[in-house]
Each structure stands twice: as C-alpha cells, then as structure tokens.
Amino acid sequence: MPRYFMELAYKGTQFSGFQVQENAITIQSSIEQALQVIFKAAIPLTGSSRTDAGVHAMQNFFHFDFDYIITPKNKYNLNAILPADIAITAFYKVEPQQHARFDAVSRHYKYVIYNQKNPFLEQTGYYYPFAVNTQLLQTAAQMVQHNTNFTAFAKRNSQVKTFNCQIMQSQWMFNGPVFEYQVAANRFLRGMVRALVATMLQVGREAITLNDFEALLHNKHNKQANFAAPPQGLFLQQVAYPFTLTPVA
C-alpha cells in the first residue's frame, strides 16, 4: 500500500497539543477528522515530533498508508475544511518503509522572546520585560552545544531509554527588543527546550552563575532546572530526513 508523508504548519494556541487525546482537540485529531470527511475513510496518522499544548510548528510531518493517489485538489479541499490555524503544505509519496518519526535525523526549534510589550507577539512569543546579559546567554548556549546528557532538563515521567542528545546548533539571536534561542539536535526530550530557555534566562539575569548552569548540565536530576518558559514562544522550525522528499501535491 502506498505511503505518504504529509507536511504541515500550525499555530498551537487553541489546541491541546499535537497527539490525539481523549476528550481534547489536538492537531492530529483535527486532521484525522478532516481526512475522513474528504476520503470517507479512517486514516490513522503517525507524527514525526510531538509538540505540547500551545506550541507552534513551521514544519512538522505525519505519515500514513492509503491506497489512493493524492492530488493537489485533495490538498486544497483538506485545507478548506481545516481550522485556519492548521495548514497542509505538501504531500510526498515515499517508500513503504520510510517513517516520519524514526527516520528523522534532526529537529530544529526556536524560542521567541520580546522585552517590549507587543500585541502581535502575545500568542507567539514570551513577554519578558527584564534586562538580560546577552553575553552570558550566548556563553550558556555554547555550553549546551558541548553537552550530551540532558537528564536535568527533561520533565519527570519521561518514558525514554536514554537522555542523551546530540546538539548540532545552540545559539541566541538578538534583534532589538526581540531575541530568540535557536537549537537543533538529533532528538529532544519532553520539555527540554523550554527548560533550557528558562534556566538560561536565569543566567542572563545573573540569578545563577555560569558555573551553576554547567553543574546543572551535568546533573542527573531535574529538581533545579527551571521549566517556567511558557509554550507560546516555542516553534518547531524544521524536521530533516536523510532522503529527498518530492511533492505530489
């Protein structure tokens, strides 16, 4: 049976996360309902990366198996009935063994912060009206890039076998009152990016030292990490695969 990758973008503000949940409206449940309307069949989806409630994505993927030729008209009709804050950007026909989650080689996130009140960033950024030391933030980000174990920055009850992550990029970008943290890795732990951001902001405000932060990076407990960064500033920017995706719709 043919396998397809579905590429999508969404604003997560009104959703209870990415994955299907009982008695909750999620990205996956909304798309599965729309697919059933268009194709008159239940089509289970497998996602590449889960995002929490309120988190956004500029690029994410599902895969599904369906014995049907997907066309641009199908994509148009699907977008027409989906909520305005979900957009299907492309369909790709792939090999039957290719997997949206397990074949991903990297994921790239950004976290947006603004320190001057801005109504246009209220749902897509973290209003943080405090002075921060940008050099301390950048140094902390470099320390993240040289770390491999992130046990201290994973939420409790994370059902994973390893807390090791290979960080490919970790840096802060500054543009006047708006600044953002850019991070890419082969995998991320639940709550990890928001915990890194919140804890680095403590470094930037000099509430903790760089030595404190380094000790936390090597800690195997998360009791000292800060998880206070809210979800609306977080974006999944890109999911990368080791093969070429050619759109069919």
C-alpha to C-alpha distances, 217 to 4, 110, 172, 224, nearest whole angstrom = 39, 20, 18, 10
HSE value, Cβ hemisphere, 13 Å, CA-based, for 91: 21
- Residues 94 and 40: beta-carbon distance below 8 Å: no
Tell me the residue ranges of DSSP E strands in 146-191.
167-175, 178-185
Distance CA(199)–CA(235), nearest Å, equals: 18
C-alpha to C-alpha distances, 89 to 9, 74, 93, 177, 248, nearest whole angstrom = 7, 12, 14, 31, 11
The active-site residue out of 52, 65, 85, 212 is 52
- Residues 206 and 136: beta-carbon distance below 8 Å: yes
Distance CA(180)–CA(112), nearest Å, equals: 4
Place of tokens 């798309």: 31
Q: Is 109 annotated as a binding residue?
A: yes
Catalytic site includes residue 67? no
C-alpha to C-alpha distances, 99 to 2, 23, 75, 95, 104, nearest whole angstrom = 13, 28, 21, 9, 8
Distance CA(219)–CA(49), nearest Å, equals: 26
Catalytic residues: 52
Residues annotated within a binding site: 109
Residues annotated within a binding site for substrate: 109
